Amino acid sequence: MSLVFLFLDGVGLGSSNGLNPFTMHDYPAFKAMAGGQAFTEDAETCRNGAHFFTSIDACLGMDGLPQSGTGQVTLFTGINSAQLLGRHFGPYPHSAIRGLLDGESIFQKIGRRNGRCHFINAFPQRFIDYVTTTNRWSSTTFMTTRAGMKLNSVPEILAQKAITAELTQDAWRTRLSLDVPLISESDAAERVIRATTEHDLVLVEYYLTDKAGHSRDAGLAHKILSRIDRFLEHLINRQEENGYTLLLTSDHGNLEDLSVKTHTRNQVPLYVLGKGAHLFHEAKSIQDITPLCVEWHRLFFGQS
């Protein structure tokens, strides 16, 4: 039994008209998540046994456009960091709220219950050296190290125990000249599935969706979405056989509206497939996600 938490950066539910990449092409996994509906703001909440899909707030009661720093700290702690800070802030977690990731993160909350957590993304050693020197940690890398967990790098990729940002490892080969094999999105998904046999919570981060949104490039958006769609489709198809619960959400909108370069105030998707999906029916905002993940762990693993 394991919870696979798939965090898509910068993916909201946008209009069925206009420059919405989700309406420009067919993405089977995203359509399946929405219960056969278009992956837009018009999609109605779907409650079908172990399948749950809805939209939730990412604005956190604040004016302005949601940002990654405050959004991710809120998402991964259950504490409204935008209200604590008095504004949205990003892309990195502000120094005034970053400490929440060192004590109140989802890794530490589940870890205190003797849960086994794993951040499956890998990073080139040059990135790890850079953030260690500059202290410019992303929310996910900061909370991983503060929970006493090691960041994955080349050895874990070669051992097929981690995944790269682009899933197929081609960027590590072409841009970084690292000697790693080219793999498929399904291969990457299988690594996640194998990790569920050893961990109660497996976190997957896909931040290229946010980069594609900022680019306003429909071709790049299609490339990025096609990759994650194939990855997702494999995880969805293999979920029942392997018994994990799959959860997907985001920190703010962006990619769903290529008419603007900025983030959006659109609601973001919440998708859960598997045992315990009913626990998430009452989620209203990204602030609810970590507390509900802890409740999911309590339901299936008992009191700590």
**Residue 106 CA: distances (Å) to CA of 64, 115, 293, 294:** 26, 10, 8, 8
- The pLDDT of residue 114 is 97
161-171 per-position pLDDT tens digit: 999 999 999 99
Residue 144 lies in a domain: yes
Looking at residue 129, what is its pLDDT? Answer: 95
What mean pLDDT do residues 219-233 have?
A: 99
Band the pLDDT of 303: cuts 50, 70, 90.
confident
Is residue 77 in a domain?
no
Q: Tell me what the mean pLDDT of segment 74-86 comes to.
A: 99
Sign, Cα dihedral of 103, 105, 109, 110:
negative
Q: How many angstroms separate the CA atoms of 206 and 9, rounded?
A: 6
| Rounded distance between C-alpha atoms, residue 37 and residue 13, angstroms | 12
pLDDT score at 224: 98
Q: What is the pLDDT of residues 238-261, one digit of tens each?
A: 999 999 999 999 999 999 999 999
147, 111 contact by CB (below 8 A): yes
What's the mean pLDDT in 219-242?
Answer: 99
Residue 289 has pLDDT above 70, yes or no: yes
Once rounded to an integer, what is the mean pLDDT over residues 184-211? Answer: 99
CATH code of the domain covering residue 210 = 3.40.720.10
Summarize pLDDT for 135-189 with one digit per residue, the tens: 999 999 999 999 999 999 999 999 999 999 999 999 999 999 999 999 999 999 9
Residue 151 maps to a domain: yes
The pLDDT of residue 126:
93
Q: What is the pLDDT of residue 228?
A: 99
Quick one: pLDDT at residue 304? 59
In this structure, is residue 89 part of a structural domain? Answer: no
Q: Is residue 8 part of a domain?
A: yes
Per cent of the chain over pLDDT 70 is 100
Range of the domain at 116: 3-66+106-301
Within 13 A of 211's CA, how many CA atoms are on the CB side? 9
Counted domains in the chain? 1
Rounded-to-integer distance, Cα 266 and Cα 13, Å: 6
**Virtual torsion, Cα 50, 55, 59, 64, nearest 10 deg:** 150
Given a cut of 90, whether residue 17 has pLDDT beyond it is: no
Query: Is 215 part of a structural domain of the chain?
Result: yes
Q: Considering the chain, what is the average pLDDT of its residues?
A: 97
Q: Give the model's confidence band at 18: pLDDT under 50 very low, under 70 low, under 90 confident, else very high.
A: confident
Secondary structure (DSSP) of the chain: --EEEEEETT-----SSSS-HHHHS--HHHHHHTTTS-SSTTPPPEEETTEEEEEEB-STT-SS---HHHHHHHHHHSS-HHHHHTS---SSPPHHHHGGGTTSSHHHHHHTTT--EEE-BB--HHHHHHHHHH----HHHHHHHHTT-PPB-HHHHHTT--B-TTSSSHHHHHTS--------HHHHHHHHHHHTTT-SEEEEEE-HHHHHHHHT-HHHHHHHHHHHHHHHHHHHHTHHHHT-EEEEEESSB-TT-TT-SS-B---EEEEEESTTGGGGGG--BGGGHHHHHHHHHHHHH---
Answer yes or no: is 38 within a domain: yes
Cα–Cα distance between 269 and 37 in angstroms, integer? Answer: 13
Let me know if residue 101 belongs to a domain: no
